Amino acid sequence: MISTEKLKLLLEKTQEIAKEAGAFIRRERQHFNLDRVEHKGFNDLVSYVDTEAEKIIVNKLSQILPEAGFITEEGTNTTKAEVFNWVIDPLDGTTNFVHGVPIFCVSIALMEREEVILGVVYEVNLHECFYAMKGGGAFCNDTRIRVSAAQTLSASLIATGFPYYNFDLIDKYLAALKSLMKSSHGARRFGSAAVDLCYVASGRVEGFFEYNLNSYDVAAGTLIVEEAGGKVTDFSGGRDFIFGRQILATNEKIHEEILNDLKKAWA
C-alpha cells in the first residue's frame, strides 16, 4: 500500500518523466523519415523512437519505485512484480507520428495488483499533460478537468479507433459505428486511444469506444476518465477493460445508450 503523500510524489515525478520522453520524441520527429520504420505485424508500426523513448521511461521509473515491475509495449523490460507494475506506451499514435500527423502521446500508468492508481498521458504536440491519482481528481496542466455535461447521445460527439490489422470483427464494429453516427453529432478517429480517453475526461468528446486494444493503450487514460467523473466499462458493461481488449468510456450520462448499441452489434 502506497501512502497518499508518496503517491502524490510519484505522480509528480511520472509527469516529469513523461515530459522528458515527450521532448525526445518531439526532437526526433523533426528529422524523422519513413526508412526508419519497422513492422511488428500488418499495419503495426514501430520505430527506434518508440524503443528509445521506452528505455528512457523504464530507466527513470526504476529509480523512483525500484520494487515495481513493468508491462511495456516495446518489451524493453517485461519483468512483472507481484504488487506494483508500471504500464507503459512510450508513443501511443505511432502511425500518426510516422506520417507527421500531430496527435501522439506518452502514456504511463501504475497498477497496484489489478487496480490503476496513477495515470499520466502527455500529448507531445500541444504540450498537454493529463494526469490523475486514485481519489485525487483529474487534471490537465494543473487545471482540474471534468467530463462533458451533455445529457443525451444526440447531443454528443463520439471518438473511436478503426480496426487496422485484425478485421475479424469489422462487420460488428461497422454496425455499431453506423448506429452511433446516426444518433450523435458524429464520430472522430484521432489515432491514439490514450488521447481519446483524455478527450473524454476533459469534455471534448462525450464517448470513446474501441476493440482490440492492449493494457498499455488504455491503463492511464481510464483512471483519468474515472477521476474526471466519467464511466468506463467493456462492451458487456463489466470491468474487464484493461486487459479485455474492449473499452467504452463516456461522460456517464450517455453510457447506457452507447452500451445498448454495442451489445446489439456484438451479439
Final residue in a domain of this structure, among 144, 170, 196? 144
225 and 175 together in one domain: yes
How many whole angstroms separate alpha carbon 37 and alpha carbon 49? 9
H-helix or E-strand containing 12?
A: helix 4-29
Final residue in a domain of this structure, among 144, 173, 189? 144
pLDDT category of residue 43 using cuts at 50, 70 and 90: very low
pLDDT category of residue 39 using cuts at 50, 70 and 90: low
91 and 122 together in one domain: yes
203 and 245 together in one domain: yes
Q: What percent of the chain clears pLDDT 90, i.e. is strictly above it?
A: 83
| Three cell numbers written together for 125 | 504536440
115 and 195 together in one domain: no
pLDDT category of residue 40 using cuts at 50, 70 and 90: low
- Which of the pair, 40 or 177, is modelled with greater confidence? 177
81 and 180 together in one domain: no
Could you tell me the residue range of the domain that residue 120 belongs to?
Answer: 4-144
Number of domains in the chain: 2
| Three cell numbers written together for 116 | 490503476
127 and 167 together in one domain: no
Tell me: is residue 168 an annotated ligand-binding position: no
| Three cell numbers written together for 3 | 501512502
Give residue-wise pLDDT tens across range 111-160: 999 999 999 999 999 999 999 999 999 999 999 999 999 999 999 999 99
Cβ contacts of 85 within 8 Å, gap of 6 or more? 68, 69, 70, 71, 110, 111
| CATH code for the domain in which residue 211 is found | 3.40.190.80
What residues form DSSP beta bridges with 74? Answer: none
Tell me: is residue 74 an annotated ligand-binding position: no
112 and 218 together in one domain: no
Mean pLDDT of 59-64: 97
Final residue in a domain of this structure, among 144, 161, 181? 144
pLDDT above 60: residue 45:
no
136 and 182 together in one domain: no
H-helix or E-strand containing 108?
A: strand 105-112
Counted residue by residue, the chain has a size of 267
| CATH code for the domain in which residue 105 is found | 3.30.540.10
Tell me: is residue 50 an annotated ligand-binding position: no
Amino acid at 129: C
99 and 229 together in one domain: no
pLDDT of residue 74: 86
Q: Are 213 and 245 in contact (CB under 8 A)?
A: yes
H-helix or E-strand containing 99?
A: helix 94-99
pLDDT of residue 32: 79
96 and 169 together in one domain: no
How many whole angstroms separate alpha carbon 91 and alpha carbon 106? 5
Q: Are 248 and 200 in contact (CB under 8 A)?
A: no
111 and 212 together in one domain: no
How many whole angstroms separate alpha carbon 207 and alpha carbon 249? 6
137 and 54 together in one domain: yes
Tell me: is residue 128 an annotated ligand-binding position: no
| Three cell numbers written together for 86 | 508500471
**Dihedrals phi, psi of 179, to nearest 5 degrees:** -65, -45
What residues form DSSP beta bridges with 169? Answer: none
pLDDT category of residue 1 using cuts at 50, 70 and 90: confident
